Amino acid sequence: MTMLMPPTAIVGDIHGDVEKLLLALDSIESSVRRTIFVGDYIDRGREARCVLEVLSALRVRHGDRYIFLRGNHDHALLQWLNGGNPDSFLRHGGLATIRSYFPRPPATVLQEFLCSFPSEHYDFLASTAPYFEEPGLLVSHAGYDPSDPSRRDLDAMVLGRDPRVLSEVALKPQDLTVFGHFVQEDGRPLHRDGLFCLDTGCGTLPGGLLTVLLLPERNFMQF
C-alpha cells in the first residue's frame, strides 16, 4: 500500500537552523516531491525568524506541495500570541526566537515582540496542522499515544511525550509512522519496522543534523 504514495519527503525538527533548512530544500526541490514538515521550526537555534520567513513564503507560493505540521514549540508561541502566558514558550527556549527578531533586546522586549510579530509569520503558524494521515502513513510531531493509537487530538499528536512510542512493543497506528520531537542524541534517525523518528538535534545539539526521510524509498538525507 505504501508503495502507491507519491514521492514524498518528510523533514525533521528544524529549531531555527535556516542554513540546514535551505540545504535540505535545495535537495528536495530538485526531485519535485510532496514535502511534509513535522514541526518545531523555532526556538533554541539562532535564526527562527529566517526559518519562518522561508517557510511562510513556501506556503504562499507553493502551498499545494508543502504540508506544515505543528510542533510543541510552535504551539507554545501561538498560545502566547493568542493572549496566553509566555511562560511555556520561554521554558521551551523561546528567548532564542525572540533574539532572532531583536538582536539587541529592549527592556520591554516581550511587549515589543507581541506588538511587532509579523502577520505572515503568525498566519503560517496558525495554519499548521496537528498531523497528516493517509492510508498507510501517519506523520505528526510527537508520534502518538501508545495507550490509544486511534487518538488524533492535540495532546497526542503535538504535545505528547510518551517514550513508549520509541519502544519495540508499541503498536503503530499506521504501517508507516513518522514523527520528530524525541531528540536522537547520536545524530542518527530512529527507524524500526515502519516507525521513524527524525529529530537528530538540528538547532538543538552542537553540530546537530537536519534529517529528511524520502518515501517510498525509505532513504535518509542529512544536512
Would you place residue 2 in the very low, low, confident or very high pLDDT band (cuts 50, 70, 90)?
very low
CATH of the domain at 156: 3.60.21.10
Give the Cα separation of 165 and 147 in Å (integer): 10
Phi, psi angles (nearest 5°) of residue 81: -60, -25
Statement: residue 126 has pLDDT above 70: yes
In a domain, residue 1? The reply is no
- H-helix or E-strand spanning residue 73: helix 72-81
Q: What percent of the chain has pLDDT over 70?
A: 97
In a domain, residue 143? The reply is yes
pLDDT tens-digit series, residues 5-60: 899 999 999 999 999 999 999 999 878 799 999 999 999 999 999 999 999 999 99
> Closest Cα to residue 15, out of 183, 162, 195?
183
What is the model's pLDDT at position 1?
40
Residue with cell 542529512: 222
How many structural domains compose the chain?
1
User: Pairing mode, if any, of strands 34-37 and 219-222?
Assistant: unpaired
What is the model's pLDDT at position 32?
79
b/e 199-222 (16+ beta carbons within 10 angstroms → b): bbbbbbbeebbbbbbbbeeeebbb
Q: What percent of the chain has pLDDT over 90?
A: 90
In a domain, residue 2? The reply is no
Q: Could you tell me the residue range of the domain that residue 97 belongs to?
A: 7-222
Phi, psi angles (nearest 5°) of residue 138: -130, 125
Letter for the amino acid at 58? L
pLDDT tens-digit series, residues 148-179: 999 999 999 999 999 999 986 668 899 999 99
In a domain, residue 61? The reply is yes
In a domain, residue 205? The reply is yes
In a domain, residue 88? The reply is yes
